[in-house]
Structure 1
Amino acid sequence: MDLLGGQAQAGITIAHRERQVESIGATAELVRRGDELQAELGEGPCLDAAWDQEQVVVDDLAREARWPRWGPRMVQDFGVKSMLCTQLFTNEKQLGALNIYSTEPVAFDEEAQEVARLLAVHAAMAIAQAQQVEGLRFANDRRTTIGKALGIVMVTYDLDDAKAFDVLRRLSSHENRKLFDLAQDIINGRQAAPRPPQQ
């Protein structure tokens, strides 16, 4: 925000393929509310930047006709006068936008627009890395849960890991349940360790 001035406040919106939108960070309440209101009304510069345009510049929101429901509410409720929204490319399943709000009119000149483009590149890289780390953590948690359930079956019925896994896999298929969900129930005591088939 120090780079942009103009009483600027910023946030990041992620637009998922199903055209759902979520605000994943904001420097001020007016940004969070502005992003949420765009998602609620289905219109606004952040949505246009996320899906359709590389950058959307709004010099005077009070005179802007592109978002007839969203714009007047932001001017009246929060005193927002200008905006700069820059598209983020995060991955093939979702897009996003770096959204900068200002209470001053004509707050974002060509230099500010270029700074926003550079910041958007850094933000997109940070988001992609955070999502990758979260995905790895999620996969590791699932693997650990299944491993614990395997251990319970192995100890309960004196089986090696291959036979114990086969027991879990068969029960998962028979009950039409995901292996992870079955493993969680076994660990939490909501389901007894499944018996191996009789030889």
Structure 2
Amino acid sequence: MTKQLVSELVRETGIDGAGVAVFATASTRDLVYASDGVAEEIDETQFTLGEGPCLDAFRFDNPELHDDISGGAARARWPLFAAQVLGFGTARVYAYPLGGGGSPFGVLELYGSSPAVLAAHEDVTCRLFAHKIARAVLAELAPGNVLSSGSDAGVFRRGNVNVACGILAAYHKISVDEAMVRLRARAFSRQRRITAIAQGVIAGDRFDTDKWQGGMSRDVVCG
């Protein structure tokens, strides 16, 4: 149902693609669906850098609407994120929190390949679909239902990142938050996906040769 709703939303608005992320904490989440590779990359970039409209939409429970990501406001708030996504050919990004009657539990992420104003009726449509998608995700995550990757492109879990954090935390006797910082720093410095770095940890990499040269300050990595 989530995939179907996202597809309908893309068809009914001027956006080019979308993703749906479900959060465990303010910095830990699973991407449950991405309509295409660009949507996946945008989400991955925010997760790796710890900054971006998706994170702020969740943290502050408020939509983030940016018609031109190269504009001063967006670049000032998220300089690393803006630079990265512009390189993907992305010009505008929107994020709507997904709520279930209380605090948000996820975010609907949207992007466009050219700068354009999101029309008022499109904003209304996005908010309506965010409500529908929130209900669909809750139903899919309910006990008895298994959220699996299956064969659909863009549908996957990011649980291996959480597992990798636990392994690093135990091995180096550090907190899980510090383990996440090290994962992000290595992903950023090596220009690799954090999921790929996490898979390496699960396979045996413990970062023993690292001397904390992540290429980002701790404040940037933590978001």
Taking the aligned partners of 2:27 and 2:126, their CA distance within structure 1 comes to 24
2:119 alignment counterpart: 109
Q: Is the 8 A contact 2:61 2:104 kept in 1?
A: no
Shift of 1:22: 2.1
Q: Are residue 89 (structure 1) and residue 99 (structure 2) matched? A: yes
Residues 1:69 and 1:124: Cα distance change in structure 2 (over 3 Å): same
1:67 alignment counterpart: 78
Taking the aligned partners of 2:66 and 2:119, their CA distance within structure 1 comes to 11
Q: Is the 8 A contact 2:45 2:84 kept in 1?
A: no
1:54 alignment counterpart: 62
Residues 1:23 and 1:59: Cα distance change in structure 2 (over 3 Å): same
TM-score (norm 1): 0.62
Q: Is the 8 A contact 1:11 1:98 kept in 2?
A: yes
Q: Are residue 3 (structure 1) and residue 34 (structure 2) matched? A: no
SS of 1:69's equivalent in the other structure is helix
Q: Are residue 128 (structure 1) and residue 142 (structure 2) matched? A: no
Taking the aligned partners of 1:49 and 1:126, their CA distance within structure 2 comes to 19
| Number of positions where the alignment pairs a residue of Structure 1 with one of Structure 2 | 134
Identity %: 25
Shift of 1:92: 6.5
Q: Which runs of 5+ in 2 are unaligned?
A: 1-9, 147-223
1:166 alignment counterpart: none
Q: Is the 8 A contact 1:15 1:96 kept in 2?
A: yes
1:27 alignment counterpart: 35
Larger radius of gyration: 1
Q: Which runs of 5+ in 1 are unaligned?
A: 139-199
Residues 1:66 and 1:18: Cα distance change in structure 2 (over 3 Å): closer
TM-score (norm 2): 0.56
Taking the aligned partners of 2:145 and 2:47, their CA distance within structure 1 comes to 29
Shift of 1:35: 0.3
Structure number with the bigger relative contact order (C-alpha 8 A, sep ≥ 6) is 2
Shift of 1:54: 2.1
Aligned CA-pair RMSD: 2.0
Residues 1:137 and 1:103: Cα distance change in structure 2 (over 3 Å): closer
Residues 1:106 and 1:16: Cα distance change in structure 2 (over 3 Å): same
2:78 aligned partner, one-letter code:
W
Residue deviations 1:17-52, cap 9 Å, x none? 363022110111010011011011110001111221
